Amino acid sequence: MSTTAPTPTDTAPTRPANAPEGTASALTTLGAVAWRTVLKVFRTPQVLGFALIQSALFLVMFRYVLGGAIGVGGLDYVDYLIPGIVVSGLLFTAGGGAVAVAEEAASGLYDRLRSLPVPQLAVLAGRALADALLLYVVALATLAIGLAIGFRSDADLVHWVTVLALLFLYATAVALAFVWVGLATGSAQAANGLALLGVPLSFLSSAFVPIASMPAAIQVFAQWQPLTFFINTWRGLLLGDPVVATFEHSLDFYLVGSILWSVGLLLLVAPLMLRSYRRD
Amino acid sequence: MEPMLEATGLTKTYGQTRALDDLDLTVAGGQVFALLGPNGAGKTTLVRTIATLARLEKGTLRVAGHDVRTEGAQVRRAIGLAGQFAAVEPALTGRENLQMVARLFGHTRRGARDASDRVLEQLGLTDAGSRPVRTYSGGMRRRLDLGASLVGAPRLLLLDEPTTGLDPRSRTELWAALEDLVAQGTDVVLTTQYLDEADRLADQIGIIDHGRLVAVGTANELKSRAGQDVLDVRLADSADLDRAAGLLGGEPTIDRADRRLTAPLTGGATEMLHRAGALTEAGIAIADVALRRPTLDDVFLSLTGRPTDDTDDTDDTGTLEESA
């Protein structure tokens, strides 16, 4: 009879060669998730491209089509417009982040990330940070176009740095809020629909026309909503006293208000976002 | 050996639905365990509780010796999850997708590169590794997704319906990849609605229905549980089905679409001829008759009262046939 011995099991199954060396720190996690997001956006150029085209179209429309009919006191309309459009345009762009997050949630990406031994807040922070960077890039590009079509400021370096730092704080808060929107809605369409609310919000602010020209009830809303705080801070810091003189409040009021709005939004959204992320 | 899974009294409800209903299950290490059940049986919920994604209401669950409630971090260190969809980013290359997950599993940059390359090779994706995933076929995406759950060398691989939606060829490829992994000593818990998948891959099968485990055993144990041999009779005319069912005995199940009667049978070929003879004597034309070993389908049917590929609705083709 055949005497072929039963095949010996090679060796006892050992721990495979892929065993990791340690565990991922919060910083590694944040970096890996952020890098993935940035790569993804740059590999899909239409995302950034559309955002830029949209901002440019808004600029041209208001600057050359509507601008002539809008009175903003002694100011050039282009100078009035640019802070408004940089700040509110960032909000329009942010909807894309919510849509992407909703798509990723539907694909099971967050289920996988939640099943990994990593600090979970770092996953969300990485996603939001990458989105914030991209929003920031679009906002800076919009500002550059603004400078090209006639925006002028003789603000000093300190004012510019303040303005740009404030813009990043604002971009971070907005990005985080939209990550939450994407997780909470869980569907790209719903996220997109909700993101469109940014448009009326920007029209009900000081972005395009002076608040004083609005009906009284709307004025109250427009004066206290966050966009007006950011826009007026920008205007005050970049355009100086003549503009500040037209404000209802002092420049410091708007500056502090902007920071409070950003921090408040971050503190409000972070736990909501974690809750949506951990929903079973 | 310490059990890979140890569940007692697992309960989880979503609204009115009891996704898991007092479920008990122990799975020893060193094997592939398949959870077999129809849609909505609770398979995915069970996988999600094992992966610490869904919170338990009642019961205890230990995964690789760690309690999912109090030692979630240790559980996550022990598992790798591949869900029902390919959670990979189309704009990134296959290698980039794996490297990100490898970093999160705790690999260094170099370790992540090595582990990703090894996994790509293991899954036959080395050539495709530098291409963006959007150029991949559905089967390749699923294999890459499987790879992503492997780059951290988990002790327990959790696969939720790994081949649902794949064409037959991709399915076979994924099965082959899984068999390779198992040969290298990875424990696997997978869910499936496909009996052939459970039959081919699993050492042990647990049948789950309405959030409860209704049977556990090897494929052979389950098959012998369903009774002995099975008599299969296909009639020429569906009008005879009900009369034939009465004559055949053994409370046969009736498949109207296929004009088929299936009944358990003892006594082998003699008994088969005897019972088939009863039909011909009554003037019922038989198209086909066969004696066979029970399949997992029969097991499933006898345990849950319905076939696996059929949720709660009646079979469409059957209704058509009847009304025609």
ipTM of the predicted structure?
Answer: 0.84
Q: Do B115 and A44 touch (CB under 8 A)?
A: no
Q: Do A16 and B185 touch (CB under 8 A)?
A: yes
- Report pLDDT for B76: 94
Among the ranges given (A44-53, B23-32, B46-55, B99-108), the one the predictor scored with the smallest mean pLDDT: A44-53
Cβ contacts of B132 on chain A, cutoff 8 Å: 43
Tokens of B49: 């509780």
Pair A91, A129: CB distance under 8 Å? no
Using pLDDT thresholds of 50, 70 and 90, give the confidence band for residue B319. very low
**Sign of the alpha-carbon dihedral angle for B152, B156, B159, B162:** positive
Using pLDDT thresholds of 50, 70 and 90, give the confidence band for residue B137. very high
Chain A residue whose CA is closest to B141: A107
Pair B304, B40: CB distance under 8 Å? no
Cβ contacts of B92 on chain A, cutoff 8 Å: 36, 39-40, 43
CB contact, 8 Å: A18 with chain B?
A: yes
CB contact, 8 Å: B55 with chain A?
A: yes
Chain B residue whose CA is closest to A279: B54
Cβ contacts of B83 on chain A, cutoff 8 Å: 108, 111-112
pLDDT per residue as tens digits for the range B37-90: 888 889 999 999 999 999 999 999 999 999 999 999 999 999 999 988 889 999
Question: Could you tell me the residue ranges of all domains in chain A?
Answer: 24-279
CB contact, 8 Å: B54 with chain A?
A: yes
Cβ contacts of B158 on chain A, cutoff 8 Å: 115
Chain B residue whose CA is closest to A12: B185
Pair B122, A40: CB distance under 8 Å? no
Q: Do B83 and A29 touch (CB under 8 A)?
A: no
Pair B148, B133: CB distance under 8 Å? no
User: Shortest Cα distance from A122 to chain B (angstroms)?
Assistant: 11
Among the ranges given (A180-184, A224-228, A258-262, B262-266), the one the predictor scored with the smallest mean pLDDT: B262-266
- Report pLDDT for A205: 93
Closest among B197, B19, B174, B169 to B86, alpha carbons compared: B174
User: Shortest Cα distance from A67 to chain B (angstroms)?
Assistant: 40
Average pLDDT score, chain A: 89
The whole model's pTM is what?
A: 0.82
* Residue numbers of B between 173 and 212 with CB closer than 8 Å to A: 184-186
Tokens of B245: 């069912």
- Report pLDDT for A163: 95
Cβ contacts of B87 on chain A, cutoff 8 Å: 107-109, 111-112
pLDDT per residue as tens digits for the range B169-207: 888 888 888 888 888 878 999 999 888 888 889 999 999
Alpha-helical runs (H) found in A107-187: 109-114, 120-148, 157-185
Q: Do A24 and B52 touch (CB under 8 A)?
A: no
The long-range contacts involving A50-56, CB below 8 angstroms and separated by at least 24 positions, are A51/A92, A51/A93, A51/A96, A51/A138, A52/A138, A52/A141, A52/A142, A54/A89, A54/A92, A54/A93, A55/A85, A55/A89, A55/A92, A55/A93, A55/A138, A55/A141, A55/A142, A55/A145, A56/A142, A56/A145
